[in-house]
Amino acid sequence: MKRIKITIAYDGSRYNGWQIQRSTDNTIQGKISAVLERMCGHVVEVNGSGRTDAGVHARQQVASFDIDSKHQPADIHAYLCQYLPEDIAVLDVEEAEAAFHARYSCRSKTYMYRIHTSRVPNVFERRYLYTYTDKALDISKMREAARLLCGTHDYKAFCGNPKMKKSTVRTITDIKIEVSGPEIDISYTGDGFLQNMVRILTGTLIEVGNGSLQASAMTRILDSKDRQMAGFTAPPQGLTLMRVEY
């Protein structure tokens, strides 16, 4: 057996997220596992760097699995290309060290959330944007709030899973907000993110931008560890996993 590392891009629009579920076979992990099972004749357990929610995209997701040594990376790549649907692309397949694990070895991840602020739609990118036109967003206030949200904190208030038992402490090293015409792109880099965390951070930053929340409230929200204190959960289609680093 040998360990394989693959890099994947996907348009998450029509999937129920990354993670295999008993109730549906319509997941990215499920599609990849099914093709590998077809190739090998037995179940192959595919470990992603982390889950992405239903409707969330990836420009660079990483997964690892073990496979019989007779399979060469180029053959695995060609096989996956042939049988995966056109909204899942395998960008790279390589042999990894035995100790490599897509989730446990991950050092940092970067997500981008794209907000479209014009009533004139971006017709070609519309599936990868969240359109918000209710109020003008104050970028400098959003940047001020973003600074307060960076660092090592207990992000329980920004966790979508109320039953989360494990540690909700994470480190966000950077939140960058860039404006390009009618689009606001928020990039989050950190050592890991809780369920819905990037979407809740984004909803909270939007509420700061539109004046519903003060930037200075971020510290209080973090301290409260109360999901009710943070902003809304921004919808999934604006979110893309951009990069996973090892």
Which is nearer to a second copy, 60 or 105 (by Cβ)?
Answer: 60
Which sign, positive or negative, has the C-alpha torsion 180, 200, 211, 215? negative
Instruction: State which of residues 121, 174, 178, 226 lies at the interface with a second copy (CB under 8 A).
Output: 121
Gap between the Cα atoms of 147 and 143, Å rounded: 6
207 touches a second copy by CB under 8 A: no
Which is nearer to a second copy, 12 or 203 (by Cβ)?
Answer: 12
Gap between the Cα atoms of 173 and 41, Å rounded: 43
How many angstroms separate the first and last alpha carbons of the chain? 22
Q: Which stretch binds a second copy (CB under 8 A): 102-110, 122-130, 136-144, 168-176?
A: 122-130
Which is nearer to a second copy, 81 or 136 (by Cβ)?
Answer: 81
Instruction: State which of residues 124, 165, 166, 180 lies at the interface with a second copy (CB under 8 A).
Output: 124
Residues 19-78 that bind a second copy (CB under 8 A): 57, 59, 78
181 touches a second copy by CB under 8 A: no
Residues 88-117 that bind a second copy (CB under 8 A): 88-91
Amino acid at residue number 166 = K
Catalytic residue among 25, 53, 66, 87: 53
Those residues with Cβ within 8 angstroms of residue 191's Cβ, 6 or more apart along the chain or in another chain: 107, 108, 109, 170, 171, 173
128 touches a second copy by CB under 8 A: yes
**Assigned token pair, 126:** 């519309």
Is 53 assigned a catalytic role? yes
Which is nearer to a second copy, 105 or 187 (by Cβ)?
Answer: 187
CA separation, residue 214 to residues 140, 156, 166, 223, 229 (Å): 12, 19, 30, 15, 12
Neighbours of 41 (CB within 10 A): 8
Residues forming the site for a second copy (CB under 8 A): 9-11, 57, 59, 78, 81-82, 86-91, 119-124, 126, 128
Which residues are catalytically annotated? 53
